[in-house]
Structure 1
Amino acid sequence: MVQKGDWKTVDLPEQTAQFVLERTLTNEDLEAIQEGHRPQEMEDKWFMYQEDGRLFLHRSWTGYCIYMVELSQTGKLCVTVNRDPEQYRETDLEQDRLMVEILLNQLIQTNHENAELMKRYMDHKLKK
């Protein structure tokens, strides 16, 4: 199981935004999320760990915390996103919503959903 101390991390800054992600997590999903993710190669951009009922998603190169997801089985996940422009330049909550979905799928091994999500993410990004 991956833990915060396994990587150089920087906590979320005071500048944040929030959104609710509608997604139901099963017990199996929560078990997979609890394992976390430690990058194995340079191309792997995320370090993810679960602590105190929250999933923390950090950029692997900088250690900056980009997302914090309050885990729940209610069908609504509260997500806090970094909005410090020195650490993270994205300002579009829809882009963030799609990225959190992609990263959750990565953790719980539902990569078949990621192809469509990645297409939507890139299409949305190109529209800006």
Structure 2
Amino acid sequence: MRQFLSRFPPQHFLDDWVSFPAGATEGIPDKIADPQDYLRRAFGANAAYILSGSTETAHGTERLPMPARKSLITLDLAFSAFDSYLIRRGFSPIEMENKWFIYFKDSGLFLRRSWTGRLIYHVAFQERGDTLYASHAHANRDPEQWPNGSDEYDRRELLALINILLLNKR
């Protein structure tokens, strides 16, 4: 719980402040956002998403396959058990400004554009108990689907998406 609160601090979701009952949250700050609102914002408004995380069919856009034109990006990343949990939960957009839809399936992380369903990145993971290791990813190189394509740009973009949207590391 402490690790989750440190990564997703209530101040991140600030609307109104209320206090938990005395003694109910040992080691947690005295004041945090309304518990129901905090959990909805941290985990999502949809009950199925709260329990399972984002799934392949959670977002209503078409899911296009990775085109034949793709690039292999070397990663060499290892994630803690907690970060691996957050990666497996994925990310479902909750407002129009969220441009990414991310889900974990069959030891792979799929990062799609939320409006078009275009698969931009696919990260292949090895699961080692509770932790994940990523040696490489594929990046879309179809210029009509993803015109940004350089390996260095895509490596930085992919790491930023994982760190910001999935791990909430800013």
Same fold (TM over 0.5): yes
**How far is 1:91 from its partner?**
2.2
**How far is 1:24 from its partner?**
1.8
Q: Is residue 2:64 matched to residue 1:5?
A: no
AA aligned opposite 2:86: A
> Alignment identity in percent?
33
Q: Is residue 2:132 matched to residue 1:79?
A: no
AA aligned opposite 2:77: R
Residue number in structure 1 paired with 2:148: 90
Residue number in structure 2 paired with 1:65: 119
Residue number in structure 2 paired with 1:32: 86
> What is the TM-score with the length of structure 2 in the denominator?
0.61
Give the Cα–Cα distance (whole angstroms) in 2 for the partners of residues 66 and 35 of structure 1.
19
Aligned pairs, number = 111
> What is the TM-score with the length of structure 1 in the denominator?
0.80
Q: Which moved more, 1:96-105 or 1:16-25?
A: 16-25
Give the Cα–Cα distance (whole angstroms) in 2 for the partners of residues 88 and 39 of structure 1.
19
CA contact (8 A) 2:118 2:145 kept: yes
2:104 is paired with a residue of what secondary structure? strand
Q: What is the aligned-residue RMSD (CA, Å)?
A: 1.5
AA aligned opposite 2:54: V
Structure whose residues are more often helix by fraction: 1
Structure 1's unaligned 5+ residue stretches are 112-128
Give the Cα–Cα distance (whole angstroms) in 1 for the partners of residues 105 and 88 of structure 2.
8
Deviations 1:22-45 (A, max 9, x none): 322111111101111001111111
Q: Is residue 2:104 matched to residue 1:50?
A: yes
Higher relative contact order (CA 8 A, sep 6+): 1
CA contact (8 A) 2:123 2:136 kept: yes
Runs of 4+ aligned residues of structure 1 deviating over 3 Å after TM superposition are 72-76
Structure 2's unaligned 5+ residue stretches are 1-52
**How far is 1:85 from its partner?**
1.3
Give the Cα–Cα distance (whole angstroms) in 1 for the partners of residues 109 and 71 of structure 2.
16
Deviations 1:95-122 (A, max 9, x none): 10101111110201212xxxxxxxxxxx
